[in-house]
Amino acid sequence: MRNLKVFIAYNGAAYHGFQRQENALSVQEVVEKAIGKLLKTPPPVVYGCSRTDAGVHARRFCFNVRVENKIPCDGFIKGMNTLLPDDIAVLSCEDAPDDFHARYDTKAKEYVYLINNKPSRDVFLQNLAYHYPYPLDIAKMNAAARLFIGEHDFGGFCRAEGRARMTSTVRTIYSLDVALKDGICEIRISGNGFLYNMVRIIAGTLVYVNEGKRTLDDVKRAIETGERDFAGVTLPACGLYLSEVLYGEPKANIFLGT
C-alpha cells in the first residue's frame, strides 16, 4: 500500500469547501472520484490538510491518499489533470512515509486575503477578490497587524459555532503583513494553525481599523478578552486563499520570515 502526498490548486467558487458534504459539491468529492476513475477502483478517501470554507480558494493544498496502484507519480499528475475540471489542478505528487498525514503533520500554514482596492469592480477578479473601493491606510493596518503576531488566544476571532467545538483557541501567528500594489491589497498571514473564519475576521478587523471603526486598543482587547465585539466584520470567502502548507520545522520555511 502506497501513501501519496499530493499538492493541488483550486478555484473554490463552485464548491462548498474542500471537505465532503452530503448535499453540496465539494473539492474532496471531485478529487476522490477522479482518483477512482484514474486507478479504476472505488473512490478512495483523501485526507486534506484543511477544510476550507465554501468559496475559499487554494494555491497549494496538500492531501494524502492510500493506493495500491503502482502508477508513477508523473503519470498520476498527468492522468488526474486530464480527468479533473478546469478549476482544480494537481501540482505535485510523491510517495510519502506510511505514517504521513496531510492534516496532523502540518507545522504551519500561510493564507492570503486579496482585496480589489480599485474604484470600479474588476470583472476578471469576480469571485477571486473582495472589492473595497475606499482608501486604505496601509501603515495603519500594519500597525494593527503587528498586534496579532505571537501566541494568543484567538477566541474573539472565531465564528461562534466553531469556537464551541474547539478544545483550545490558542494559536501562534508567525507573520502578518499588509501590502498594496497596483490596486490590489494583499493581507498575508502565517501561523501554526487557524480557527474557523479566523483569517477572514482578522482581515475584516484590519479593514475596520482602517475605517476608524476599531482602534488599536480594541484589537488588543479582542485578543486579551476573547470578546468578538471588539473585532471586526467577517470578510467574504471569495478573497481568501490557502497559499502554502509547511511540513517540517517552521523556521526552515521562507514564508515565515525567519
Rounded to a whole number of angstroms, the distance between the first and last alpha carbons of the chain is 37
Residues known to be catalytic = 53
Q: Supply φ then ψ for residue 145, to 5 degrees.
A: -60, -35
d(CA 173, CA 258): 13
In terms of Cβ atoms closer than 10 Å to its own Cβ (0-12, 13-18, 19+), residue 74 is: exposed
Residue 221, C-beta contacts closer than 8 angstroms, at least 6 positions apart:
227, 230
- Per the CB < 8 A criterion, the answer to whether 155 and 138 are in contact is no
Residue 164's SS3 state is: helix
